Copies of this chain bind each other. A is one copy, B any other.
Amino acid sequence: MRPDMTPAAAAERSDAARNRERLLLAARDLIEEGGVAALTMDRLAERAGVGKGTVFRRFGSRAGLMLTLLDDSEAAFQARFLFGPPPLGPGAPPLDRLLAFGAERIAYVVEYGDLVLAAGHAARGRFEVPAVALWNRHVEMLLREAGFRSPEPWLMAGSLTATLDPERLLHLIRQHGVTTERLAVSWRDLVTRVVMAT
């Protein structure tokens, strides 16, 4: 192993790194050209000038690729509600943070639409994704801070985040013309009722 590399990265061969770059680039190209639906694993491999096996070696599955594509924005989102400025980040009253969390999540889903949808179509189900667990813990924490008392705050947190399911949100927006504002208001209504009733 090279002495100058971080132990966390744990050795990625140069050709592997180059191919990953190529693949991500080609993936964004394809999506830009024809939407998420146009991103086929075969086409991606061909476009990147790489074998199909390589694609699956890198990303595991189509959903995994989508997750990787969302990696940056997802990390940014997490950073904002964990360490960012109020009312989303720490410093604001917990109820305000909860409301901001919902609103931001809705905006995120709207922005990345089909990409989020495709990322959710994982074989092992959309609840195994680490990010989902993180949101749950975050909401659970905020509930506790807001004075929420109940035998199962974790289940309640899960119920609340289930409300933000991307497929549901996008269905309401695209098929029923519901605006993001109304969705945010609905989230506010739900959360305030749940918290207030303590």
A→B interface (CB under 8 Å): 125-128, 150-152, 155-156, 158-159, 162-163, 165, 167-168, 171-172, 175, 178, 182-183, 185-187, 189-190, 192-194, 196-197
Contacts and interface: CB of A to CB of B under 8 A. Distances in A.
Given A151-B185, A152-B189, A167 B126 contact: yes
Given A159-B163, A163-B159, A127 B168 contact: yes
A197 B175 CA distance: 30
Given A128-B175, A155-B178, 10 more contacts: A127-B168, A127-B175, A151-B185, A152-B182, A155-B182, A158-B168, A162-B163, A162-B168, A193-B197, A196-B197
The number of times this chain is found in the oligomer is 2
B167 A127 contact: yes
Contacts of A182: 152, 155
Contacts of A183: 155
Contacts of A190: 156, 159, 194
A189 B178 CA distance: 28
A172 B128 CA distance: 11
Nearest to A152: B186
A9 to B, nearest CB: 30
A159 B125 CA distance: 20
Contact of A194 (B125, B127, B193): B193
Given A127-B171, A172-B158, A190-B159, A152 B185 contact: yes
A112 B143 CA distance: 33
A171 to B, nearest CB: 4
Given A162-B165, A163-B162, A168-B162, A189 B125 contact: no
Contact of A186 (B125, B126, B156, B197): B156
